[in-house]
Structure 1
Amino acid sequence: MTVFAFALAPVTAAKADHYAKAPSVDIVDTAVAAGSFKTLTAAVQAAGLEATLRSAGPFTVFAPTDEAFAKLPAGTVETLLKPENKDQLVSILTYHVLSGKVYSKSLAGKQIEVATVQGTTVSVDGTDGVKVDNANVVKADIKTSNGVIHVIDTVLMP
């Protein structure tokens, strides 16, 4: 789970804020710089999805925080990160990703089903804030060079 911590230099809060606003930084580096997605970035690397999320995209990522992962039953994250569970991990992570850039303003006032990269749909309710399945979007529209990140408070399960 700490591969990114070893591979990347520490980032100050000022740099993290800069990355969140700078369109030249991709989804992965934006998540790493924020500091609240350590579990997500470790899972992305374990699933072999880092190169994809660094590619041109564009992608929309519903990014669960470390606190969201902590809500899962004890041992769930550790189990998912095992090599023998890679297919399940890929399925869960790609359920958090949409093809293209989807900003919160395009979801406002709507209740829709949206296709995920995983191949199924996720329910989006934009009638009172934005909710994705059972997760609340707690910070929306973080622009990156290859898409947009919406921070969510719960891990989505396909």
Structure 2
Amino acid sequence: MANILTTIFGTRELSIFSTALKITDFDKILAEQCDFTIFAPNNLAFAQLSKVHLRILTDDLRLLTEIVSLHIVPARLGYRELLKMCKPGDRGVSVTSIDSSQIQIDLTDGIEIGGATVLSTDVTPCNGILHMIDRVLMPDPVDQIDRSTPPIDRQEVLG
């Protein structure tokens, strides 16, 4: 059975996220350790970023590392585990990312994490769980960047 890193690297729709994992050295962490949940943005999620966001991602390694870390939870959390964490009457739960950031997960209608919709859930390689999402999660200050800048052309991102 493949590990979580092999699964991500082998998924064409996650090639940009795979590159971000390599650049930030999270690939080494995911290869060596177990029990991670990855909320991996697909290539279309990156294509939706504005040119300003994309420029920031390519120019600032510290910020890229912070952004990638928001997508990694150091625990094995499938859909059932997330539902079990919900208290009666709650719509969702808060989970802690690998960098100790709190991320809200809404379980009202499927799964949404930080405003991103989970497109596929519970892919279970041997050392974790992978959920593919439709948006790149951003730390709050970065998320406040001028949104009037148009999204980048998809072909520019995907090559």
Structure 1 length-normalised TM: 0.78
Tell me the CA shift for residue 33 of structure 1.
1.3
Are the aligned partners of 1:37 and 1:64 in contact in 2 as well (CA < 8 Å)? yes
Q: Which runs of 5+ in 2 are unaligned?
A: 140-159
Aligned to 2:20: 43
Match in the other structure for 2:72: 97
Q: Deviation at 1:75?
A: 5.3
Question: C-alpha displacement at 1:78, in angstroms?
Answer: 4.8
Kept in 2, the 8 Å contact 1:43–1:81? The answer is no
Number of the residue aligned with 2:61: 86
User: What RMSD in Å do the two structures reach over aligned CA positions?
Assistant: 1.5
The residue aligned with 2:81 is 106
SS in 2 for 1:63: strand
The code of the aligned residue for 2:100 comes to: G
Alignment partner of 1:117 out of 89, 94, 98? 98
1:78 and 1:41 map into 2 onto residues whose CA distance is 18
Which ranges of structure 1 fall in alignment gaps of 5 or more residues? 1-23
Distance 1:157 1:150 in 2: 17
- The percent of aligned pairs where both chains have the same amino acid is 26
Picking from 35, 53, 78, the partner of 1:58 is 35
Aligned length: 133
**Counterparts of 2:98 and 2:33, CA distance in 1:** 15
Q: Distance in 1 between matches of 2:35 and 2:55?
A: 29
Rounded Cα–Cα distance in structure 2 between residues aligned with 1:38 and 1:118:
23
- The CA deviation at 1:106 is 2.1
Does 2:118 correspond to 1:143?
no
- What's the TM-score, normalizing by structure 2? 0.78
1:20-42 Cα deviation digits (max 9, x unpaired) = xxxx2122210121210111011
Distance 2:21 2:40 in 1: 11
Letter in 1 for 2:11: A
